[in-house]
Amino acid sequence: MRSILIIVSLVSLVALILPSILFLAGRMDLDKAKWIMLLATIIWFVTATGWMWKEPGKTQKDEAVIP
Amino acid sequence: MSEERHSQQTQAGDEFEREPVPQNRLLGFKSFIGMYAGEHCAGTELMIGPLFVAAGVSAFDLVVGLIAGNVLAVLSWMFLCAPIATRARLTLYYQLEKICGRQLVTLYNLANGVMFCFLAGAMVTVSATALGVWFKFPMPELSDLYPNSVGWVIAVLACGAMISVVAAYGYEIVSKVANIAAPWMVLVFIAFGLVGLKQFIDATGSEVHNLTDVWTLAKTHIWQGGAPHPGRVKFTLWHVMFFAWFCNMAMHIGMSDLSVLRFAKKSWYAVASGTGMFLGHFLAWLAAAILYAFQMHAEPGNTKVLPGPLAYQAAGLTGLICVIIAGWTTANPTIYRAGLAFQAVVPRSSRFRVTLITGAIATVAAMFPALAMRLLDFVALYGLVLMPMGAVVFVDFWLIPKLGLRGSYAEFSGRHFNWAAFAAWIVTLAVCLAIVFIVGNWTLYFVALPGWFIASVVYIVLSRFYQKQVHPAAAL
């Protein structure tokens, strides 16, 4: 399950950047690119949450500076 | 336990706060790549890129200046901060306490907390601009100093209150969201640049077939140079280079990252900071700058630097989500850190209450657009204020013993306030700020360089007197 989530989430990242590349190449209009990016965003947050949530969050590195 | 997980736990500062990190807890190179890449893709990147354009920067000056400045920043991490971090393996706090004494460190924390507070304010401002796209209230102009509409004040209040309350309860959930959002956010930043580039190509009717054509477009339309917007310092290659070098001065030359790099097996692992510099402080800044330059091209009279509308125009809802998350996930830990710093000054106060008050101050600051619209100046000032203590740490570690003096003198003498270090800090700030006020605002971006040498010399000279006059308490 975890492997599937990782694969789907990585594919969603490709789907996130691809529309802007296609838009730059003149192969896609901007409205369609925006919708695909939104879809990819939703898929990323759903699937990545599935396998990244249990990892500890990014912590504040400067906290150690504080007494 | 994965190495990355271990990295994240140890970076929390809950281990080895007052002892060197042992060999068996050191971390590999990979841990630092992820940390630095995530750390430097923040909401404020969406302000900084456009502000370069507002400063009238040219394409060559921007690109070459950013490359040179970012390389210098990475070298500063590698050759100033990391060698001390991997030898002493102590937090900055403990290192400073040994040198300066506990009372002076408390003062340093107060300065740190104030700076964090205003930095968080700028991040709240970034998030609030996204709300303006939905609710259509008047948003600040580039030249505005004060809040310009009730809608703006309410939006900032809403964002600031949410961020502050979450920070006060502890921000573990937000930090998890930040972790998940980091790779997504980098790609959205890149998408901003690609979309903006295409919009420029279409709007100008340029023929682009290769990188040379892209460069021509950049020079002739995107970053044409010329006069800055009224009231702005004109940015040349030197301004861009020094800004890119010094915008994280508190971390590298200021030694804040001793607390992170003390876990590195080798000092060269600090080269990992290059991921943050070239993703966040190169790609993200350029992308945001392209969006703003396109706005100026399409509507020459519209000089507003508003990340929300800029991102929405380029990437729709994805752009708005990016602005909100980028501002939120960076403002949240910043308010938390500021709260911790203030709590160190008033140890008996509850962390919850202090963080809420800190968030309230940041929120009030965020209502004033001057803070975000003058972010380049503020970031330069932020580095300048904390830099002298980095010079003190550097000199105390490398030079003081070679000059026949005693390093870590506060620890040796049992004193709580090292006047030599305090004077080095204050004299440096006084001289640097005097230069800025007398010579001109443009010097703010450069003055930290001579300032580092001033701090070093003052600390060495005064340490000679101080160590002759102040002896270990037990010897009295």
Q: Is residue B351 classed as helix, strand or coil in its secondary structure?
A: helix
Residue of A nearest to B95 (CA): A65
**CA B43 – CA B124 distance, rounded (Å):** 9
Answer yes or no: do B333 and A41 touch at CB < 8 A.
no
- Judging contacts by C-beta atoms under 8 Å, the chain A residues touching residue B180 are 45, 48-49, 52-53
* pLDDT confidence of residue B335: 86
Task: Count A/B contacts: CB-CB distance under 8 Å.
Answer: 148
Q: Is residue B60 classed as helix, strand or coil in its secondary structure?
A: helix
Q: What values do phi and psi take at B264, rounded to 5?
A: -75, 135
User: Higher confidence at residue B473 or residue A56?
Assistant: B473
Distance from CA of B438 to the nearest CA of A (A): 34
CATH code for residues B3-375: 1.10.4160.10
Closest CA to B293 of B128, B64, B122, B57: B57
What residue ranges of chain B have pLDDT lower than 50? Answer: 1-13, 476
* pLDDT confidence of residue A60: 43
Question: What is the ipTM score, two decimals?
Answer: 0.88
Closest CA to B310 of B142, B476, B93, B91: B142
Answer yes or no: do B172 and A34 touch at CB < 8 A.
no
Answer yes or no: do B198 and A26 touch at CB < 8 A.
yes
Closest CA to A44 of B470, B202, B181, B408: B181
Answer yes or no: do B184 and A60 touch at CB < 8 A.
no
Model confidence at A37, pLDDT cuts 50, 70, 90, reads: very high
Cβ within 8 Å of residue B359, ≥6 positions away:
B120, B160, B161, B163, B164, B165, B167, B168, B335, B339
Domain boundaries, chain B: 3-375
CA distances in angstroms from B123 to B37, B47, B370, B399, listed in the order given: 18, 9, 13, 39
Whether residue B446 contacts residue B440, with contact meaning beta carbons closer than 8 Å, is answered with no
Q: What values do phi and psi take at B386, rounded to 5?
A: -95, -15
Mutate which of B173, B198, B214, B320 to test chain A, going by most A C-beta atoms within 10 A?
A: B198
* pLDDT confidence of residue B178: 82
Helix axes B448-469, B419-439, angle to 10 degrees: 150
* pLDDT confidence of residue B473: 67
Residues comprising chain B, all counted = 476
**Chain B contact for A10, CB < 8 A?**
no
**In the block, residue with structure tokens 């990190």:** B21
Cβ within 8 Å of residue B164, ≥6 positions away:
B335, B355, B356, B358, B359, B360, B362, B363
Domain boundaries, chain A: 2-54
